[in-house]
Amino acid sequence: MTDPSPELVEAIEAKAWTIYEEALQPIATRFEFEPVPSKSETSGLPTVLLLGNHSAGKSSFINFLLGEDLQRTGIAPIDDGFTVITHAEKAADKDGAALITNPDLAWGELQRFGQTLVSHLKLRQIENPALRGLALIDSPGMIDAIDDSVDRGYDFPGVVRWFAERADVILFLFDPDKPGTTGETLRILTDSLAGLDHKLLLIFNKVDRFSTMRDFARAYGALCWNLGKAIPLKDLPHVYTTYLPVDGARESGSGDLAGLPVKDFDEQREEVRQEVQRAPQRRLDNVVSRLYQYTRRLRMHATVLDHLQGERRRHQRSYLFLGLVISLVSMFALYMEWSLISSEGWDRVQWTAITALIAGAVLGSAYGFYRWDRRVRDENLSLDALFERAYRRQLTLGEAADDLQGQWGSVKERVKRALEAQGTFPRLRRSEIKRMEKVLETEVPELRTEASQ
Ligand SMILES: Nc1nc2c(ncn2[C@@H]2O[C@H](COP(=O)(O)OP(=O)(O)O)[C@@H](O)[C@H]2O)c(=O)[nH]1
Ligand SMILES: [Mg+2]
């Protein structure tokens, strides 16, 4: 497969850009959804991002890909920043300030994450043929603190999302020590990488550390179990199981992996290497996939908010009706009271009690509505219920349910934030629904066809 021509890439990007600008941005603005990707995002070198726990083997994997010992590796946490590695005729190490002004990378936007992040960025330019037309990004290991109290001084999940959106391939490494996904890893997988699974490669590294099939199976099972919780996909995600031929790792052929299929692990490592080399071709797919994902998430976001607004209006209407009925009844009661009192009939106290009861009912229901309204704003739980109400019909159909749930996982935070920021929303217009459908059903498939030519 040859790399796509720059003209083709440019043409597809321009079309995607027009759709974002003209069709989607207005809807995104009305519903407080995340802004459409900026123009600079898709330019720059094809990029491979490495993520994973501390000492899962990210730096070692980079060294393996490059065929040289470039990145420092070790069990102790060494790197607490992001290192971008690119090709250059003359080797040089540069700091974050140089990286964000580098014209080949178009990463000036990183500045918005603050000075602490910039001081944790590094650019390493090396002369290595494996790197031509490619950028590799080494990242700080994730910290599996139970209490989420890790403070890096910058918005780590946000930065990961920033890099992940621009990356063409993401390698996410796990190792036998932490096949679980807790704390930061879980949050990164569910939030920062939401909607990006088309470019995510999951790698279970260091399988040479297992001495029995049973241990391997148990750890692999635990990993998949945890992944299933973190990434709500319909099918089990594909996991590459492999190891790196680092010093101390058992080399293939030595035959002491106690019955584990070493050759197979070696092959899977090669497959990952090939995926990395395909990054330039993936760029085109990613432009189109990203447009598709963005539109789907936007549609869900707007649909859920629209549904909420509809519910509110219905509630308001029924409260209005109830209020009206109650007022009429009270008016009638007051009239009766007045006429009865004047004719010295009924006990005055009895009528006053009824009036008080009615007033209490009016106040009580107004308060109930207020509480309901607040709860919807405050609680995650009712957001899930809201989603289920908005998508009741689709969810009961079964087929797409898992997919919808997964998508909801990636939209929910956004809905919550939009509600906090704005409270009430306009209704979704028919024309807007039609426009998004057109993107998903006509324009994206057309772009895909064009991209594969
Ligand atoms: N046995 C074994 N050790 C590995 C493997 N991959 C990496 N290591 C070792 O694990 C340690 C941590 O690796 P490193 O690349 O620094 O992890 P990072 O924190 O994710 O960058 C180093 O001592 C590596 O030599 C592997 O597949 N098998
Ligand atoms: Mg490292």
In tens, the pLDDT along 125-159 reads 999 988 888 899 999 888 766 555 567 888 888 89
Q: What is the pLDDT of residue 102?
A: 77
**Relative to the alpha carbon of 54, which ligand is closest?**
1
437 SS3 class: helix
Structural tokens at position 134: 């490619």
Q: Which tokens belong to 390? A: 């908005």
Distance between Cα 54 and ligand 1 center (Å): 9
C-alpha of residue 70 to centroid of ligand 1, in Å: 14
Q: Which residues line ligand 1 (CB under 6 A)?
A: 52, 54-60, 73-75, 141, 205-206, 208-209, 243-244, 246, 248-249
Atom index in ligand 1 nearest the CA of residue 250 equals 1
| Residue ranges per structural domain of the chain | 45-277, 300-451
Query: 10 Å Cβ neighbour count for 311?
Result: 15
CATH of domain 45-277: 3.40.50.300
From the CA of 118, how far away is ligand 2's center (Å)?
18
Q: Taken in order 437, 443, 449, 452, is the CA torsion positive or negative? A: negative
Identify the three-state secondary structure at position 47. strand
- The answer, yes or no, to whether residue 451 has pLDDT greater than 70, is yes
123 phi/psi in degrees, rounded to 5: -115, 125
Residue 173 CA: nearest ligand 1 atom is 20
Most confidently modeled range among 161-165, 195-199, 353-357: 161-165
Nearest CA to ligand 1 atom 7: 57
pLDDT above 70 for 327: yes
Residue type for 179, please? P
- How far apart CA 238 and CA 202 sit, in angstroms, is 7
Minimal-distance CA residue to ligand 1 atom 23: 74
407-449: per-residue pLDDT in tens? 888 888 889 889 888 877 889 999 999 999 999 999 999 999 9
Q: And the tokens for 240?
A: 């590459």
408-417 in b/e form (b: 16+ CB < 10 A) is bbbbbebbee
Q: What percent of the chain has pLDDT over 70?
A: 86
Question: What is the H or E stretch that residue 170 is in?
Answer: strand 169-174
Give the confidence band of 78 by pLDDT, cuts at 50, 70, 90. Answer: low
d(CA 50, CA 111): 21
Q: Worst-scoring range by mean pLDDT, 77-91, 124-138, 184-198, 240-254?
A: 240-254
Exposed, middle or buried by CB within 10 Å (0-12, 13-18, 19+), for 310?
Answer: middle
Q: Which ligand is nearest the CA of 75, by number?
A: 1
| 246 Cα–ligand 1 center, Å | 7
The stretches of 142-278 forming alpha helices (DSSP H) are 156-166, 183-187, 213-230, 262-277
- Once rounded to an integer, what is the mean pLDDT over residues 292-299? 94
Q: How far apart are CA 258 and CA 240, in angstroms?
A: 20
The average pLDDT across 389-410 equals: 83
Specify the ligand 1 atom closest to the Cα of 63: 15
pLDDT interval class at 58 (50, 70, 90) = very high
Residue 50 alpha carbon, nearest atom of ligand 1: 20
Q: What CA–CA distance (Å, rounded) separates 158 from 152?
A: 12
Phi, psi of 256 (to 5 degrees): -110, 30
The residues, ordered by sequence, that sit 6+ positions from 174 with a Cβ below 8 Å of its Cβ are 52, 53, 56, 181, 202, 203, 204, 205, 223
Which amino acid does the sequence have at 47? T
pLDDT tens sequence across 150-182: 678 888 888 998 899 889 999 999 988 877 666
